Structure 1
Amino acid sequence: MASSRPTFNNAYYLFCALLLLPAVCYCQDYFAPSRATYYGSPRCYGTPTGACGYGQYGRDMNDGYVTGVSRLYRNGSGCGACYQVRCTKPQCTEDGVNVVATDYGEGDRTDFILSPQAYGKMSQPDKTEELFAYGVVDVEFRRIPCRYWGYNLMLKVHERSKQPSYLAIVILHVAGRNDITDVEFWQQEDCQQWRPMRRAYGVVFDLENPPRGDIYIRFQVSGTNGVNWVQPKNGIPSNWKAGATYDTQIQLD
C-alpha cells in the first residue's frame, strides 16, 4: 500500500511553489518582453479622444507621455495604469519612459502604441530620428505606481450627462498600482442598497435616472492590497453639472 505521507521530493516542490507565489502575484515588479510603436507623426501630441474616455484630459495627462494598449486594456479596467517602457535597440536609454494607458490600440503584435513624444523619450538625445525610423521596436515593460502629486482621486461628470435623467462619471487620478474594477451607488429610495453602475467604456461609469439628492458612490479597488471597497465621505452634490469635477478626498497608495 502506498504511503499517504508526502515524499521529500513532493515536499520540496511544494516549498518552492509557496516560495515563488509572491513573485507570481507581484510580477509587475519585473520587466516583461513586448513590442511598441507610435501613432501619427513625430510632432503629434496625444489624442483628445480614446477608448478610456478621458477626453481632452487624456491629451495632456502625464505631460503627454501616454499610450494605447492592447491586451493590457483589460476591458477598460487597465485605463490609467502606469508603465515603464524601455526599448532594446542601441539607440535606447536604460530608463526608457513612464507612460499612462489612456486608449485601446492594436498594432503589429504590439502591447503599446505610444504617443510620439513618449516613443521619442525612449531614445538617447541624438538618436531620436534613428529610433523613429524603426517604426516598431522590441521593448521591456513593467507596471509602476502612478503618482499624481497634489491630487486626490477625482470624479468628473461626463459632458454627455443630463440632469436629471442620465449621469456618467469619469474617474481620474487613480494612484498607486490600483484598478477600479466596479462602481456602485447608494439607492436611497425604495430598496436602500448598493446597486452597480454600468461600465460604459474605459473609466466611464453611468446610470439612467440617478437618485435624487446627493449621490453616494463607492469603488471596488483591486491592487497590491487586494480587493477592497472604498467610499468617499462626500457624495456627488444634487446640483451636479455636466463637465464639473468633484474631489473625493481619497488618495490611493
Structure 2
Amino acid sequence: MLEGEYFTNSRATYYGSPDDYGTPTGACGFGEYGRKMNWYDGRVAGVSGLWRNGADCGMYYQVKCKIPELCDANGAFLVATDQGYGDRTDFVMSPQAFSRLGRNQNASAELKKHGTVEIEYRRVPCTFMGNVLFHIKESSSNPGYLAVVILNLNGKYDVTAVEMWQKGQQRWEPLRRVYGGSV
C-alpha cells in the first residue's frame, strides 16, 4: 500500500487556546514554530497512536470529517506537533485546524459544538516552502551539547536518522533522538 493511498477511520477533537492557534509547548519541541509560522498557520494537532516516540513530529495529514452537511470535502491539512489523547481519538487538533474541517464559518461553529467528530485521515507529502528547516534548541548553551529540532522536511518520508559532519575527525557522526522532534 502506498502512503496516502487510503484513508483510515478514526475520531478527532480539539483543545482550547485563547488565540485558536494552539500551544507553543508541544511535545515535538517546536515551540512557537509549531503554532503560527507561515507553513503551519495554526493547522497543528497532537496525535496519539501515531506518535511513535516522536517519529511523527512534523508529519503532514489530510483529515476529513464525516458529517456531509457540515464538512468540507477536502477537509483540513495539518501537521503533527504534539502528543495528545482524547476520547478514542487519533487527533487532538488546534481550534484553527478543527475549524478548517467545516464547509464554512457556520458549519465550523456547529462542528465545535459536537466536540468530537468521526473522521478519516491519511498521511500526505509535505508541501511547505523550502527544504529541511531546523532550529537549535536553547538548551544547547552547554558547549558539550547541541540539540536541534527538525521543523520541516518536504516530501513523504520519515526522518529515521540524522548525522553531523565532524570536521576534525573527518567523518559523519550519528545523532540520537532525545524526545519529539529533537535530535
In the superposition, the TM-score normalised over structure 1's length comes to: 0.66
The alpha-carbon distance between structure 1 residues 139 and 177, as it changes in their structure 2 partners (threshold 3 A), is same
1:74 matched to which residue of 2? 52
Deviations 1:145-168 (A, max 9, x none): 11122x221231111111522110
2:20 touches 2:42 (CA, 8 Å); kept in 1?
no
CA distance in 1 between partners of 2:145 and 2:107 (Å): 50
Q: Secondary structure at the match of 2:36?
A: helix
- Which residue number corresponds to residue 98 of structure 2? 119
Change (3 A) 1:159 1:111: same
Task: Give the unaligned 5+ runs of structure 1.
Answer: 1-23, 206-253
Is residue 2:10 matched to residue 1:31?
no
**Percent identity between the aligned chains?**
51
1:84 aligns with 2:62: yes
Alpha-carbon distance in 1 for matches of 2:179, 2:150: 12
Matched residue type, 1:202: G
The answer to whether the aligner puts 1:130 opposite 2:130 as a matched pair is no
Q: RMSD across aligned C-alpha pairs, in angstroms? A: 1.8
Matched, 1:202 2:149: no
* 1:47 and 2:47 correspond: no
Per-residue deviation, 1:32: 1.1
Q: Measure the CA separation in 2 of the matches of 1:177 and 1:152.
A: 13
Structure 2, gaps ≥5 residues long: none
Q: Which amino acid aligns with 2:126?
A: C
Higher relative contact order (CA 8 A, sep 6+): 2
**1:158 and 1:168 in contact (8 A); partners too:** yes
Asked if 2 retains the 8 angstrom alpha-carbon contact of 1:42 and 1:132, the reply is: no
Q: How many residues get paired?
A: 179
CA shift at 1:188, angstroms?
5.0
Identify the structure with the greater strand proportion.
1
Q: Name the structure where helix makes up a greater proportion of residues.
A: 1
TM-score normalised per structure 2 = 0.90
Equivalent-residue separation in structure 1 for 2:178 and 2:11 (angstroms): 29
Please tell me whether the aligned partners of residues 42 and 117 of structure 1 are also in contact (alpha carbons under 8 angstroms).
no
